[in-house]
Structure 1
Amino acid sequence: MSQTLDSKLVAMLEVVYPAVDCAFVAEQLIDAMALAPDAEAPPAHQNHWDPSDIVLITYADTVQQPDEKPLVTLKRFLDDCLQDVISAVHILPFFPYSSDDGFSVMDYLAVNESHGGWEDIEAIAADYKLMADLVINHMSARSRWFENFRKRVGPGKDYFFEGNPKDDLSMVVRPRTSPLLTPVQTDDGERHVWCTFSEDQVDLNFANPEVLIEFARIIHYYLERGVRIFRLDAVAFLWKEPGTPCIHLQQTHELIKILRLLIEHHTPDAVVITETNVPNRENLTYFGNANEAHAIYNFSLPPLLINTLVTGNCRHLKTWLMSMPPAQMGTTYLNFIASHDGVGLRPTDGLLDEDEKQRLINTMESFGGKVSYRRTADGRDQPYEMNIALWDALKGTAKGGADHWQLQRFLCAHTIMLALEGIPAFYIHSLLATENDHARVEHTGRFRSINRGQWQLDAVEAALADPLSHHSKAFTELKRLIAIRRAQPAFHPNATQFTLHLGLQLFGFWRQSMRREQSIFCIHNISDEVQQVALTDINLIGTDQWTDLLSGMAVDDLAGVLTLKPYQSVWLSN
């Protein structure tokens, strides 16, 4: 007999809160989510995706129109330009905020008035799968909860994590160079609050079950507004224990299981995605046993793919791909090569050596990029991420500098991403091939602003209508590639994948559909020189008819040679 929801919750909660009345907490969580205590779980290992799923990542106000709320403009842009291109849209935090372009939330239940209202969010959710951030690790120092913390009243009095400067914090893993503890004056004296990211982003105290219950109410509200994909922002840092690294602790994993359990009982096809910008082996743990994240961000892909294309050598990318376990049914990877943040370097730990990382950093800086740092346990500052627009990151090579292959290199990167196991996600500035925004960096003083620019709608439309602009060339070809990808059963996010060994200048892998009716050999020249591969090295089945899906070219001589121009890709399908 299967366990009921309340009994499952109690068992999970006892791991996190051994000294608390977990039956009462479970009752509160079930009530917050408007669930039945004896509700049965949805079937396990269900895939909530297929080859047609493509995600767009954007801020609410990336595309603007004078005298119109940006969420209204965004809906028009989606409908006019992307309706047949994407299936889901991730709107980065659209709540009132005080810093970090939305990730310092002041009110989880409100839409930033300058962006629009909940009716605009619901309008987008009606036509696209809506992905929203659950900014769960921290909250704005200007929020009502934190003001109540200062006044020592509820709700908020015990909602934020406090540290002691005398504690042993030497092992704490940091993503920033700012102080971990921030002193604040409260109505009963000075207290030190824990700030993983900045003094304006105060970490929440999940050791208090009331905080978990509050987030259950928030999640329920989002589900009722149409959110179907939850991105758990910075979730790896959720649980703190002085004397430990305070990252990936067991209580964090248990809390993710609890949130997923609640979400899927309310909406069986809702999806939980964890955002954990950490080394690859650590990232993979967030699948749990197919009971934590439905999907994890493939954080090693962006730096390894960029490194591959600027060095003309796919050794590290190929080694990484061979090491990646197939995702269990009901789980998958979220593949991306650019986002609102920088290109993380921690995910290359154990994959690139320090000299290779430095060469990559030097190349990105020569293409106009910036570098952000984090502080290690021994007090040293280490490169944390490279801040650069993907269009500019691929403008040349490490050896030769900028060249005339920028567009081809840029398209090659996306062709690889589109074919890999997992769901592809396009950052809006990559879909539009936007350049580095140095003026915005100068205005904000933040390196991440280099890839967080804004477009006026008429400027976007003009750029995309101009056949000579690189924006139009990139966008038109990306739309074509996406349309091809979406029609292939072998590109199901969970279809079989094997790495091919074709040398260091050709990056290849094989995909086979889940019913085995289609195979696709994906081969990419990642160098600036013509490359050839003998078709006998690919082992195409002689009884099948093979065609390159990208060019329409039929492959008639299976004993012949395939010639690829610099950065050319082929998807050979039967």
Structure 2
Amino acid sequence: MENTAPSQLEQRLIGHLQVLYPNRDATELARNCLATFNLDPKTESPRPHRNLWDQSDIMLITYADTLRAENEAPLETLQKFVKTKLINSISAVHLLPFFPYSSDDGFSVMDYTSVNPASGRWHHISEISKDFKVMGDLVINHCSSRSMWFENYKAGVDPGAKYFYEADPNADLSAVVRPRTSPLLREVQTKNGTKYVWCTFSHDQIDLNFENPDILLEFLRIIRLYLEKGIRWFRLDAVAFLWKIPGSPSINLPQTHEMIRLLRLVIEHYAPESVIITETNIPNQENLTYFGNANEAHLIYNFSLPPLLINSLVTGNCKHLKQWLMSMPPAQQGTTYLNFIASHDGIGLRPTEGLLTDWELETLINTMKRFGGRISSRTTPDGEAKPYEINISLWNALAGSVQQGPDQWQFARFYCAAAVMMSLEGVPAFYIHSFFGTENDVDRVDNTGQFRSINRHIWKMDDLEHVLNTPTHHQKVFNAITNLAQIRRAQTAFHPNATQYILHMGDHLFAFWRQSLDRRQSLFAIFNITDQPQSFNLSELNLIATDDWTDLVTDTVYEDHLAKVTLMPYQFLWLANKKGKVKLVG
């Protein structure tokens, strides 16, 4: 008689499903999940705690249509640009939602299975995946009110009839944590009468009901499609809000973590080199929980880094940045941080909770307003509108200081910020506009009425090629950052999981030590984060006397290990005892 006992994979899957769907047959659901994913139940588990990255990994974040050329699909334009201009500087491309959408620049998805025809086709994404790792957005919390699913919901037919989360408008929902000020519920007329659907973000973004396992199966089909098209890294957008329980905050619920563990289990058995990244713009300690026990996210966004680093550079004081980093646990092998200082969204302020005082946060907000920024708000459970994020381009955010306003150090400050991000434990991710030093796009804000549009400029390729080939700050930024990225990718001390220790050199010098996993390369990263010269003695670093120490950026050799070193405003050193060789393609 054939043995039909569940395999190890099935048993683990059943365990997750029993937590999520206690009133359903977990064994049958597990088999449906495996069949949907076309996954053999006997598939062996990948080895745990594998680092699926190294020091060569640097990510580009971009919309599919940020670069546009005449008579060419934007995805084709992007593919040509990254292959010719960034092949030596990045290893991965994060394509923000490239699907047909109705609002929010792609995050109101109408159809998860097709590429927006205005951007290109699936084969363009597959072409990018031949030279780079590709990360795609799994917009998993909600979809567009203009999607087929929602039309079917209103008509009471499948697929979609029970796909959306409904709530009682008379229920007490005051505890719900949200990032917006709009009403939580939207009244909808359906075949079955008036319903009230849950909208965490906007009334065009209707939250999906993961209490219905059919939604899980739908997303497994979607994930499998992405894998077939060459996507291997998955960004779980707004995943902290996935599970709802009226009367609770409906954020970071245990079922949400269980769902992430389930998705990871299935994905990594199908494609062991795949990576899951959780996008959870929440206070730091809550964010850290998405590592689980190295069984949830492979990477988490380091959301506290952008506001704290920008605050350090405009105030000339790194006290809070140091304190935060000293409190951060080293990531376990097989997990790491995704470091970024600019993205398609604004500079999140919730991740500063408990890290900056109210006065310091107000000072930062007022400074960003002075540099042309806008402020988006959210509604707190008591009904108060509170600043949620700063909307500004990184170039403008670093235009000057709190004390002096705009000054002559904008490029130096910008370059220093990029260097800090590339030096820290984790995988660095550059928003495409950080490669160009793109300014605030105020006209786009006026056209869309959305503050976030200020940092979502569309470059015509003729204009971009012109500014990159003439003496402009755009050319200076592009050349400096691409060159620094090439140096960074060759240093084993910058492995995302290499040792990191914060050094105490006062509030004006931000410094830390990195050591490669094999302990052969030591690297001291030292940054002057002020607009004044700052000096220190090399004796403070306790350099190994028998090693030769060289600044990797300037190739300056420091033979006197006791010498006094003066750093000019925003100057930095990558002082290493060994120099990895930069290998260029093409």
1:447 maps to which of 428, 451, 458: 451
Letter in 2 for 1:152: G
Q: Distance in 1 between matches of 2:7 and 2:456?
A: 46
CA–CA separation in structure 2 for the residues paired with 1:447 and 1:30:
43
Asked if residue 528 in structure 1 is aligned to residue 537 in structure 2, the reply is no
Q: How far apart, in 2, do the equivalents of 1:23 and 1:144 lie?
A: 30
Aligned residue number for residue 501 of structure 1 = 504
Q: Report the AA paired with residue 427 of structure 2.
A: I
The number of residue pairs the alignment matches comes to 573
Q: Deviations over 1:14-57 (max 9, x none)?
A: 11111111111111110111101122111101111011001000
- Name the CA distance, whole Å, in 2 between partners of 1:471 and 1:65: 19
Q: Given the alignment of the two structures, is residue 539 of structure 1 paired with residue 542 of structure 2, yes or no?
A: yes
Q: Deviations over 1:440-495 (max 9, x none)?
A: 000000000000010011111111111x2000001101011101100101000000
Partner of 2:368: 364
Indicate yes or no: 2:384 matched with 1:387.
no
Measured in 1, the distance between the counterparts of 2:482 and 2:152 equals 49
Paired with 1:4 and 1:21, the residues of 2 have a C-alpha distance of: 18
Contact 2:135 2:231 in 1 (8 A): yes
Q: How does 1:295-310 map to 2 (within 5 A)?
A: 295-310=299-314
Which one is further off, 227-236 or 10-19? Answer: 10-19
1:469 — aligned with what?
A: 472
- The separation in 2 between residues aligned to 1:125 and 1:145, in whole angstroms, is 29
CA RMSD of aligned residues (A): 1.0
> Which secondary structure does the structure 1 equivalent of 2:232 belong to?
strand
What is the rounded CA distance, in whole Å, between the counterparts of 1:16 and 1:419 in structure 2?
40
Q: Does 1:513 align with 2:516?
A: yes
Does structure 1 conserve the Cα–Cα contact (< 8 Å) formed by 2:7 and 2:41?
Answer: no
Alignment map for 1:393-404 (pairs within 5 Å): 393-404=397-408
Q: CA deviation at 1:537?
A: 1.2
AA of the residue aligned to 1:482: A
1:60-99 map, 5 Å: 60-99=64-103
Structure 1 residue 3, shift from structure 2 partner:
6.2
Secondary structure of the 1:227 match is: coil
Show the counterpart of 2:3. none
Note if 1:218 corresponds to 2:230.
no
Q: CA deviation at 1:503?
A: 0.2
In structure 2, how many angstroms separate the alpha carbons of the residues matched to 1:36 and 1:11? 18
Larger mean CA deviation between 76-85 and 278-287 belongs to 76-85
The structure 1 segments of at least 4 consecutive aligned residues displaced by more than 3 Å after TM superposition are none
Q: Any gaps of 5 or more consecutive residues in structure 2?
A: 1-5, 578-586
**One-letter identity of the residue aligned with 2:124:** D
* 3-state SS of paired residue (2:235): strand
**Conserved 8 A contact 2:173-2:247:** yes
Aligned partner of 2:60 among 42, 56, 74? 56
Post-superposition shift, 1:412? 0.2
Q: Percent identity?
A: 60
**Alignment pair present for 1:489 and 2:481:** no
C-alpha distance in 1, partners of 2:222/2:9?
A: 19
Q: Deviations over 1:217-263 (max 9, x none)?
A: 10001000100100000000000001110000000000000000111
Deviations 1:316-346 (A, max 9, x none): 0000010110110000100000000000000
**Separation in structure 2 between the aligned mates of residue 3 and residue 502 of structure 1, nearest angstrom:** 55
Tell me if 1:202 matches 2:206. yes
Task: Tell me the SS of whatever aligns to 1:127.
Answer: coil
- Counterparts of 1:136-535 in structure 2, within 5 Å, are 136-466=140-470, 468-535=471-538
List per-residue Cα deviations over 1:479-521 (Å, max 9, x = no partner): 1110110010100000000000000000000000000000000
Stretch moving more, 303-312 or 13-22 = 13-22
Give the residue type in structure 1 aligned to 2:197. V
CA–CA separation in structure 1 for the residues paired with 2:526 and 2:258? 40
Alignment partners' CA distance in 2, 1:126 and 1:543: 44
Find the aligned partners of 2:257 and 2:501 in 1 and give their Cα distance: 30
**Deviation digits for residues 272-291 of structure 1 (CA, Å, limit 9, x no counterpart):** 00000000000000000000
Distance 1:397 1:285 in 2: 34
For structure 1, list consecutive stretches of 5 or more residues without a partner in the other structure. Answer: none
Alpha-carbon distance in structure 1 between the residues aligned to 2:403 and 2:18 = 56
Q: Distance in 2 between matches of 1:25 and 1:353?
A: 48
CA distance in 1, matches of 2:556, 2:130: 40
CA deviations 1:175-231 (Å, max 9, x no partner) are 000000000000111000000000000000000011001100100010001001000
**Separation in 1 of the partners of 2:424 and 2:16?**
34
User: 2:584 maps to which residue?
Assistant: none
- Cα distance in 2 for partners of 1:39, 1:405 equals 56
1:561 to 558, 561, 564: 564
Of 30-39 and 239-248, deviating more is 30-39
User: Using the alignment, how far apart are the partners of 1:115 and 1:550 within structure 2?
Assistant: 38
Whether contact under 8 Å (2:399, 2:410) holds in the other structure is: yes
Matched, 1:105 2:118: no
C-alpha separation in 2, matches of 1:398 and 1:34: 57
How many angstroms apart in 1 are the aligned matches of 2:464 and 2:25?
Answer: 56
Aligned counterparts of 1:109 and 1:139: Cα–Cα separation in 2: 13
When the two structures are superposed, what TM-score results if normalisation uses the length of structure 2? 0.97
Deviation of the 1:6 alpha carbon: 0.8
CA 1:78/1:10 → structure 2, altered by over 3 Å: closer, same or farther? same
Query: TM-score if structure 1 supplies the norm length?
Result: 0.99
Greater alpha carbon shift after TM alignment, 501-510 vs 78-87: 78-87
Matched letter for residue 398 of structure 1:
V
**In 2, Cα distance between equivalents of 1:541 and 1:526:** 26
Amino acid at match of 1:101: D
